[in-house]
Structure 1
Amino acid sequence: MPTLTRTSTTEMEVTSIRLERDLKEKLKELSGNQGYQALIRDVLWNYVHQRSGDYAPQLSHSDIRATIAATAQQEERCALTGKIIRPQEPMLLGLTTDGVMMPLSADSFVD
């Protein structure tokens, strides 16, 4: 996940959100020393940046272990270049070093 600029908690607004107990426990497990509220903020900021067009690529070529040819079934955004991949366009699925599959544009490995 990209590093985000941290805002002082005194400058944040308090918002209440209801989470299932299991979800909250999983978030606590995944967040480690970061804390689950900071993790939730990171996830929400990543979503906002991706949806608003302010998307910053999350990966580099060295993060990809393998690729699989695929066809987009819905609009995707390349995790390397930020390029939009339209439905029915050829694309790649990239397996990251963390074991996550990410959408990649078909030409993302062309120099």
Structure 2
Amino acid sequence: MYTIPKTSTTDMEVTSIRLEKELKDRLKKLANNKGYQALIRDILWTYVQQKSGDYQPQLSNSDIRASLPATAQQEERCVLTGKVIRPSEGMLLGLTNNGDMVPLSIDSLED
């Protein structure tokens, strides 16, 4: 997941967002000791990076346990190279060490 340099909370703007109780509880569980607000910031930064084209991959080949051939149904971005994968283009789905399925370009696992 994308991580920005640590910013003091006093330098952040306060905002309010309404979340379903179940979503907030799940975020808290996923965050462990990190805090769910920091997790939400990481999720939002990752989204912004992916959508803005400034995506900086945070995984390496060693983070991928297995891969399966697939076809993109919508535009994706390879988590290893940042390369755009267009709809109907061949791709791989990579299983990460923590159990996530991530998009990979066909040539991204080659050395």
Superposed CA deviations along residues 7-47 of structure 1, whole A, max 9, x for unmatched, are: 11111111011011111111111111111111111110110
Kindly report which structure 2 residues correspond to 1:48-87, keeping only aligned pairs within 5 A, or say none. Answer: 48-87=48-87
Percentage identity across paired residues of the two chains? 70
Give the counterpart letter for 2:18 in structure 1. R
Judge which range, 1-10 or 58-67, deviates more.
1-10
Count of matched residue pairs: 111
Match of 2:96 in 1: 96
Partner SS, residue 88 of structure 1: coil
Counterpart CA distance in 1 for 2:21 and 2:86 is: 37
Distance in 1, Cα, partners of 2:98 & 2:105: 19
Q: Which AA in structure 1 matches 2:20?
A: E
Shift in Å at residue 4 of structure 1?
2.2
TM-score (structure 1 length as normaliser):
0.95
Partner of 2:105: 105
1:85 and 1:38 map into 2 onto residues whose CA distance is 29
Q: Which runs of 5 or more structure 1 residues have no equivalent in the other structure?
A: none
